[in-house]
Structure 1
Amino acid sequence: MIQFVSGLNDGNLGIILPSIKAHYGLNQYVVSIIFLCNAAGYMTAAVLNGYLIRSTSQSKTALLGACSMIVGYLVNLFAVPFPVMCIFMTTIGFGIALTQAAANVVCGEMPYGMLMLSFLHAFYAGGALVGPLLASGLLSSQKPWNTSYMVFATTVAASTTTPSDQESMTCKEQANSKNTNLLSQIFKFRITSIGAVFLLFYTGTEVTIGNWGYTYLISTRSTDTNAMAHLMTGYWAGICAGRLFLGFATSRFGEKRMVYCYLAMIVVMMVLLWLLPYIGANATSLVITGIMLGPIFPTVVSVAHNIVPTHLYATCVGFLSAFASAGTALFPYATGVLIGAEGVSAMLPFCIATSCAMLIMWFFVPDPRPPTKFSAKMRTWKTQILTSIRS
């Protein structure tokens, strides 16, 4: 349920952003600080997650994250001054990162971990699908922009229970480990460094489209705000569908091969969305983009589960999840600054560039499967590229 609220949070913010800007009388540069403050919370969680698990437990760390979210939502419910709002956006980001990291660890250890992770992230996409509908519905009813935070706080509080005494085997092994330098150990595995940057770009691209896509559509396509909000709902519905239905195909045909296909399709759809000024074509491009984006995050977490030793898995996935969450703030912030300087039409070229960067980075992500002729050839090319770079 908290994963669903995390999606609600991200899907809602893009719709209420123009209202926040008008309420506080801010320009494009200043209102984008919200994303930067969220990023500060995510990065703090990335560093502290492993320590918190080792000092307390996975369940108590998740409970701390949920409480942090509730506090942030309750404060922002009262439309506090903008600097105070930014401070508690950091609290919300910290809480979301901790709870998402815990959820990824638990689901990744289950049987059929790839499918379980896909279902988990489908709940996030489901929340992000409902978020624009909730926000646009409240605004259409003449409700203030901050009303949605009451819904978030209530939902998180209702889904938060007393921490269970049962911990996953990974978390027990990590908590009992005498070596306290777990964070440095996970960086011995390439999936940690490359995977973290890859997921930073992934979540940044995903949420940039989700948060700024609405602003782009009402500025360049149509002033019908309800219709454009429904187009963004189609995008999040695509992500939900991709996570529900493409997880099996990704497991069946291989993570490396399938993610190459997904990323190539994303680039093509973004180019079409940019060049074709037709609502029907734009709606189709957004839905297909969402479907292709859907399975990528759980796929990377599944790859990490197959590569990293069991006693380091909680720290590794916690770091990957929290670091990736920072992308949901940093990239929308950078996009906001870019829009302020160049106009809203600059959003899609930026997303196309980040998608191309992901396609290049995926080349260097380790393949957990035994080498095939295709993967052996790719590894040979990768070795040659790395050798040429070093020389």
Structure 2
Amino acid sequence: MFSLLTPSTKLTLWLISLVPFIWGMLTSITNLLVPYLQDVYSLSYTQSIWVQVIFSLSPLIISLPMAAIINRTGYKPALIGVLCFAVLGCILVLPAAWHYSYRVTLVAIFIVAMSVAAMQVVTNPIVTSLGSDNTISNRMTFVSSINALGTTVAPWLAAAYFFPEITQSPIEKANNLQIPFILLATFISIVTITLLVTRFNTPPTKRTQTSADVNSTNQVNNVDNATLNQRHYWLGVIAIFCYTGTEVSIGTYLVSYLNQAGNLPLNTAGQLVTFYWGGAMAGRIAGCLLFSKINARKVLCINAALSGLIILGAILLPGLTSGYLMIGLGLCHSIMYPVIFSLAIRQLGDQIAKASSILIMAGAGGAILPLIQALLADQFFIANTFLLSFICYVFILFYSAIGYKNKDSIGMGFLRKNTQPE
């Protein structure tokens, strides 16, 4: 896969891939924190889901400021600063545990969430610059696999601390946070020091802006009306919103479902989430190998239909069997985001950059839909609240079967405006 890269570039790629590994661990541990904090502080679903809301909304807050920081300082200083910020967030979890404070915990999670979003803004351009344009997909797939490894390993290790089998008081449970986050802070510090002393190539940054640059920026900001009228694009934005929302919801409430509907101890349920994220990792690797031979859109269609059937069974027949089937949703989810994304940006010409930024913003579904499900979970049995995920799968199925086609091939006037010159 990397035979054309120089030894120094290969080393850089391996070192940089540790950053996605870090944000993968932090992301999956955040999902575990929802049921954990709910148990420790006797919270309602609505109160505990604010951990996930804060985490999922962070890209909307930090992305643009992080881009400005990169242009001012360069990629390597920005990356080192972001990792130090992540260490600070992990360390702040300790006084939150000492003082038995949910509010201080939320502050710490907010800092961690900002660092995770900033890591993505800094790291992805570095990875794409480490080689030719023809092999970008290979490098990004490799990095995504390392990220998935982090999301798979972390729940298995952290669940033993978060949900011990012995009986504990609430204060003792709160202190269980300390060891996992001390280990995380230590590991991130080691990676930070390693990257600091290692010389590696980064993309150039634009410190100043000429008049030509300003004109170019103005042209990009003036989004073509034809792009805004592309039916398949806006349906793709909704599909991304649905996907991110239901992926986060399943990852967040799977422990609660296995505990309440499947009667599994929280410790066992937390460890089983590892297989949910492991399925996502396996699916990404398989997709990279197979999409050159099979139709990715048809795979998306099958996965959406299968996911809908699994979640419908979890609603109608709640129990341990349905919980085990829900773990398999990680495999179904694995290829949804890249396939939906690629279908949505087809035929957008020079507007792909602007369109992509809106698609990324649609990831706010990971904050909004879990919050809605939390409000429902406070009123209804946890299994019934997954009706929201079922609706999302139905829409993704519609998009993969019909909605991906552009307005010309469909012959409908959805979102169409008069684009004739006045």
| Contact kept? 2:280, 2:334, Cα under 8 Å | yes
Taking only aligned residues, the RMSD between alpha carbons, in angstroms, comes to: 3.9
SS in 2 for 1:347: helix
How far off its partner does 1:239 sit?
0.6
1:46-195 paired onto structure 2 within 5 Å:
46-79=63-96, 81-107=101-127, 110-138=133-161, 139-140=163-164, 144-147=175-178, 148-160=180-192, 161-162=195-196, 166-168=201-203, 177-178=213-214, 179-180=216-217, 184=221
Gaps of 5+ in 2: 1-17, 167-172
Aligned match for 2:308, one of 254, 260, 267? 267
- Normalised TM-score (structure 1): 0.79
Q: How many residues align?
A: 376
| Contact kept? 1:108, 1:116, Cα under 8 Å | yes
Matched, 1:341 2:364: no
Aligned match for 2:261, one of 220, 237, 242? 220
How far off its partner does 1:180 sit?
4.9
Aligned counterparts of 1:174 and 1:320: Cα–Cα separation in 2: 28
Aligned counterparts of 2:362 and 2:187: Cα–Cα separation in 1: 24
Gaps of 5+ in 1: 367-374
Quickly say closer, same or farther: Cα 1:25–1:107, change in 2 above 3 A: same
Larger fraction in helix: 1
Aligned counterparts of 1:284 and 1:87: Cα–Cα separation in 2: 35
| Contact kept? 2:41, 2:102, Cα under 8 Å | yes
How far off its partner does 1:257 sit?
3.7
SS in 2 for 1:384: coil
Matched, 1:384 2:412: yes
Matched, 1:6 2:37: no
Quickly say closer, same or farther: Cα 1:120–1:26, change in 2 above 3 A: same
Aligned counterparts of 2:208 and 2:258: Cα–Cα separation in 1: 47
- Normalised TM-score (structure 2): 0.74
1:242 maps to which residue? 283
Give me the identity figure in percent.
18
Quickly say closer, same or farther: Cα 1:76–1:364, change in 2 above 3 A: farther
| Contact kept? 1:47, 1:319, Cα under 8 Å | no
| Contact kept? 1:53, 1:175, Cα under 8 Å | no
Spell out, residue by residue over 1:105-125, the C-alpha distance to the aligned partner (whole angstroms, 9 max, x if none): 444565343343333222232
1:146 maps to amino acid: L
| Contact kept? 1:46, 1:319, Cα under 8 Å | no
Aligned counterparts of 1:244 and 1:114: Cα–Cα separation in 2: 12
1:372 maps to which residue? none
| Contact kept? 1:222, 1:228, Cα under 8 Å | no
1:202 maps to amino acid: Y
2:54 maps to which residue? 37
Quickly say closer, same or farther: Cα 1:216–1:53, change in 2 above 3 A: same
Aligned counterparts of 1:220 and 1:295: Cα–Cα separation in 2: 28
How far off its partner does 1:344 sit?
1.4
Aligned counterparts of 2:252 and 2:156: Cα–Cα separation in 1: 13
When Rg is computed on C-alpha atoms for both structures, the one with the higher figure is 2
